[in-house]
Structure 1
Amino acid sequence: MYKKILVPLDGSLRAEAILPHVESLALRFNAEVALLYVDAGADLMFERDEVPDVDSFLDTRRRLIKKHHLYLQAIADKWHSTGIAAEVRIARGAVVAGIINAAKQTSADLVAMASHGEGGEERTFYGSVAASVLNRIDRPLLLIRSRYFKPIAS
């Protein structure tokens, strides 16, 4: 039924709620998996009069992308040992557009993701990224409710 499953992950435990479901589907249908991280770009804020250190900023971006690549590669390596073909993809730009573009580029016939990622709020049924993907995607979407929420630090 499914030949290629796209799995967007942001590195959070909440987003990982989808992984057991994807693993089961991939094994059952002998599907390939594309693990995706979308780098949304500048997430560092500067004061109005502050002059940003471009080299430092770019170095931070490179380290963050490398960290996410290694994270996804560890999942792919684990799945390879169980017979699942998995690839790692890094996209840049707006997260929702990155997910939708990756679904097209990989010819994914299923996009599978958790209801919440790093920034999601517990009281909502699904987060803003999941809602936007749901509204814009042109193929089946498996959305699993993420039940893991970090306590708010006091």
Structure 2
Amino acid sequence: MNNQKLPADSTSLVLSIIAAVIVFVGCCCGIGPVIALTLAIIALSMANKSLKLFREAPENFSPQSRGNVNASRIISITAIIISGVQLLFWIGYFIFYGTIVGTALYDAAQRDAFEDDYNYEEYNDSLDNDNDWEYYESETLEKDTLKIDTIEIEVIEEN
């Protein structure tokens, strides 16, 4: 009985642990989940290849090495799921706030374009001229009227 280690025993375990740490600690700016997802996928593929080798010839490899690879596989799957959810959150976050910022910038650009087309000097000159504003009283209107709907309230007395 030859007790060799599986090829990805320590490598996949280290990669999966690093991915898990990044998932749980470093979820800043949406970059952490991408790095963790990449490391976890690499660790999972290495662990699966090693487990395939173990299934072909289990007598050549130590059971402890198989346990390490299984642990790596479980940690990698967990890191993939959690980092995938975090990545979807960050994508939604950037889409939502990117839309808000884009709309605000578009509105500001439209407002600036309108202000560039408007001639303020003509407007200010027209305000200075008092003859432009005249009030004409209409002779057809004799009195102001206000019609209010009435509400009738009937009081019912009990015997």
Provide the TM-score with structure 1 as the length reference: 0.26
The structure carrying a bigger helix percent of its residues is 2
Q: Which has the higher contact order (CA 8 A, sep 6+)?
A: 1
* Larger-Rg structure: 2
